[in-house]
Structure 1
Amino acid sequence: MCRATFWQDNFLIMKNYKILVVEDQDAMRESLLIAFKDEGYHVECVSSGEGAIKKLSDGNVYDLVVTDLKMKKVNGLEVLNAVKTENPATEVIVITAYGAISTAVQAIREGAYDYVTKPFRYQEMLKVAKNALEKKELKERLKYLEGEVREKYKLEGIIGNSAVMVEVLKVTADVSRTESTVLITGESGTGKELIARAIHYNGPRSGYPFVVINCGALPENLQESELFGHAKGSFTGAVKEKVGLFHHAHKGTIFLDEIGETSASTQVKLLRFLQDGEIRQVGGNKSIHVDVRIIAATNENLERAVNQGRFRKDLFYRINVIRIHLPQLKERKEDIPLLVNYFLELYTDKLKKDKRVFSGSAMAVLLNYDWPGNIRELQNIVERAVALSKNQVIGVEALPLPTGGFVAHNSNPERDVTVKSSIVETLSEQEKNAIVEAMNKYGGNQTKVSQVLGISTTTLWRKIKKYKIKPQHEIPDDGIK
Structure 2
Amino acid sequence: MIGQSAAFIRNTQLIEKIARCDAPVVIEGETGTGKELVARAIHDRGTRAGYPFVPVNCGAIPDTLIENELFGHERGAYTGAQSKRLGLIAHAQSGTLFLDEIDALSPKAQVTLLRFFQDQQYSPLGGGIARAANVRVIVASNRNLTQLAEKGEFRLDLLFRLKIMHLTLPPLRERQGDAALLAVHFLHACVARFGCVEKTLHPETITWFDNYSWPGNIRELENLIYRECLLTDGLTINIAPLASAAVERRAGFDRRRPNFIYLNFAEAKNHAIAKFEQYYLAQALTKAGGGNVSKAANLVGKDRRAFGKLLKKHGIDKNIHCV
The letter of the residue matching 2:101 is E
229 and 400 in structure 1: CA distance in 2 versus 1, 3 angstrom threshold:
farther
Q: Conserved in 1, the CA contact under 8 Å of 2:204 and 2:240?
A: no
SS of 1:254's equivalent? Answer: strand
Q: Which residue of 2 aligns with 1:195?
A: 38
Q: CA deviation at 1:342?
A: 1.6
Q: Conserved in 2, the CA contact under 8 Å of 1:255 and 1:295?
A: yes
Q: Which residue of 2 aligns with 1:305?
A: 148
Gaps of 5+ in 1: 1-157, 412-481
Identity level (%): 41
Q: Residue 267 of structure 1: which of 91, 107, 110 is its match?
A: 110
Offset from partner CA, 1:86-135 (integer Å, 9 cap, x none): xxxxxxxxxxxxxxxxxxxxxxxxxxxxxxxxxxxxxxxxxxxxxxxxxx
Q: Which residue of 2 aligns with 1:278?
A: 121
Q: Residue 179 of structure 1: which of 17, 22, 31 is its match?
A: 22
* TM-score normalised to structure 1 length: 0.49
Gaps of 5+ in 2: 248-262, 269-323
Q: CA deviation at 1:256?
A: 0.4
Q: Which residue of 1 aligns with 2:65?
A: 222
SS of 2:3's equivalent? Answer: coil
**Where is the strand percentage greater, Structure 1 or Structure 2?**
1
SS of 1:333's equivalent? Answer: coil
Q: CA deviation at 1:188?
A: 1.0
Q: Residue 254 of structure 1: which of 86, 92, 97 is its match?
A: 97
The letter of the residue matching 1:250 is Q
Q: Which residue of 1 aligns with 2:297?
A: none
The 5-angstrom pairing of residues 306-455 of structure 1 reads 306-396=149-239, 401-402=244-245, 410=267
* TM-score normalised to structure 2 length: 0.72
Q: CA deviation at 1:196?
A: 0.5
Q: Conserved in 1, the CA contact under 8 Å of 2:20 and 2:47?
A: yes
Tell whether 2:130 aligns with 1:293.
no
Distance 1:351 1:224 in 2: 40
Distance 2:213 2:124 in 1: 45
SS of 1:205's equivalent? Answer: coil
The 5-angstrom pairing of residues 91-130 of structure 1 reads none
The letter of the residue matching 2:237 is I
Q: Residue 232 of structure 1: which of 69, 75, 97 is its match?
A: 75
Q: Conserved in 1, the CA contact under 8 Å of 2:186 and 2:226?
A: yes
Q: Conserved in 2, the CA contact under 8 Å of 1:177 and 1:202?
A: yes
Distance 1:382 1:176 in 2: 32
Q: Conserved in 2, the CA contact under 8 Å of 1:246 and 1:254?
A: yes
Q: Conserved in 1, the CA contact under 8 Å of 2:208 and 2:240?
A: no
The letter of the residue matching 1:306 is A
Offset from partner CA, 1:155-187 (integer Å, 9 cap, x none): xxx111111111110010111111111110001
Q: Conserved in 2, the CA contact under 8 Å of 1:183 and 1:295?
A: yes
Answer 1 or 2: higher relative contact order, Cα 8 Å, separation at least 6.
2
Q: CA deviation at 1:401?
A: 4.6
